[in-house]
Amino acid sequence: MRGSPPFSSISIFDAMDRETSPLVFLFTAIVMLGALLSSSVMLPHERYYRFQAHDNVTTRKADWIYERLHFDETPVDVALIGTSRMAGGLSGPQIERAYCEATGRRIHVANFAIPVTGRNMHYVIAKEAARQKAPALIVVELNDVESRRPHPGFIILANAEDVLSAPLILNLNYFSDLIRLPGRQFQLFIEKVLNRPKIRQSFDKEDYAGPNLDLTEIMFAIDGRIKSRRITHSREHMEFLREKRAAKIHRTFFLPGPLKFAEYRFARIYLNKIERVGAAHGGDVEYAYMPAYGEPAAPVDMLAEIRLQTPSFDLGADIATDHEFWLDATHLNADGAAEASKRFTEQLVASGKFFSREGACK
């Protein structure tokens, strides 16, 4: 019989070229993607390696978060969840000392805030903290502008099921995260097989930064450089930075009237998830306003749109307008962080709630 064998690669692809409709091709692609996702999710990997894989180009913190939660027996009474504003704006050790002086009780504060905005990342970290340490209080950062964007590092730290179940509507990273998930899973699987993670094979106490990683006075870069936060600027320079930031915000696109209800849908979903996971592990979830320079209070209309009341911890007011407290337009310097930490503790004590589980302090 002449011609190609009936099941040769030539005859198969010729048939596909002649007969496959776009709809069939799309269906086949979806099935193949589903199969790839399903198989990749099943690949085993070391979660510690996954947290080592995340960095912010210049800085790294996720590996310490995992170490603090999984390898350090020190409890966590108060967990701080937010962005770099909170990471460099609140000092755990200072809050612990001031709380001890005011109440006579020991408290353990862990600052799990991580650079870049994205409520999905806040949920990932809050869930990890709640499940491992069950903090009595989870404090979530609020800003003067609520970010609608997902965190770019979510695909690195999130469990596979969190990636698959992420909200689809107005989630700009949903499909890109979905496409990247199999590659992430396979890479982590190979790292486990070869025992070659990004940083270290196993937890090492000598490399551990301890239970209180405090970034309010200095910042550590991946390349080994240390940057001081004891920097101040003139009022003129801070006003220039404020105006520059305001102009950028003014150019931001917001949904038109009929669609405005969905503006902060993404943020609301994850804030609700944080509140539920905190409650499920016996903790309270409260909010702390971390201002930008020149923004002394959280906008009332924004709070209404994300369905929140006035934050329990208000660290704005005159902190936001004192140019000597600022490193740049959105981050406090060392003096600003000291003042914010002081006021946070005062408001924590004034709440009348005791979050310590270890009794009297020394």
- Domain with 79 in it: 43-350
pLDDT for res 7? 39
Whether residue 355 lies inside any domain: the answer is: no
Any alpha helices (H) in 195-305, and if so which ranges?
Answer: 235-250, 265-280, 300-305
Whether residue 161 lies inside any domain: the answer is: yes
Whether residue 254 lies inside any domain: the answer is: yes
Say yes or no to pLDDT of 14 above 90.
no
Instruction: State mean pLDDT over 315-321.
Output: 97
pLDDT for res 10? 46
Three-state SS across 300-343? HHHHHHCCCCCCCEECCCHHHHCHHHECCCCCECHHHHHHHHHH
Whether residue 13 lies inside any domain: the answer is: no
Instruction: State mean pLDDT over 133-155.
Output: 96
Range in 24-33, 137-146, 245-254 the model is least confident about: 24-33
Say yes or no to pLDDT of 132 above 60.
yes
pLDDT tens for residues 255-302? 888 887 888 999 999 999 999 999 999 999 999 999 999 999 999 988
pLDDT for res 262? 84
Whether residue 36 lies inside any domain: the answer is: no
pLDDT for res 8? 45
Q: Rounded to 5 degrees, what angle do the CA atoms 198, 150, 340 make?
A: 85
Range in 67-71, 74-78, 122-126, 261-265 the model is least confident about: 261-265
Count of domains for the chain = 1
Instruction: State mean pLDDT over 120-149.
Output: 97
Give the confidence band of 337 by pLDDT, cuts at 50, 70, 90: very high
pLDDT for res 19? 56
Say yes or no to pLDDT of 13 above 70.
no
Residue with tokens 């496409």: 179
Give the confidence band of 38 by pLDDT, cuts at 50, 70, 90: low
Backbone angles phi, psi at 255, to 5 degrees: -65, 145
pLDDT for res 18? 53
Give the confidence band of 351 by pLDDT, cuts at 50, 70, 90: very high
Q: Can you give the pTM of this predicted structure?
A: 0.88
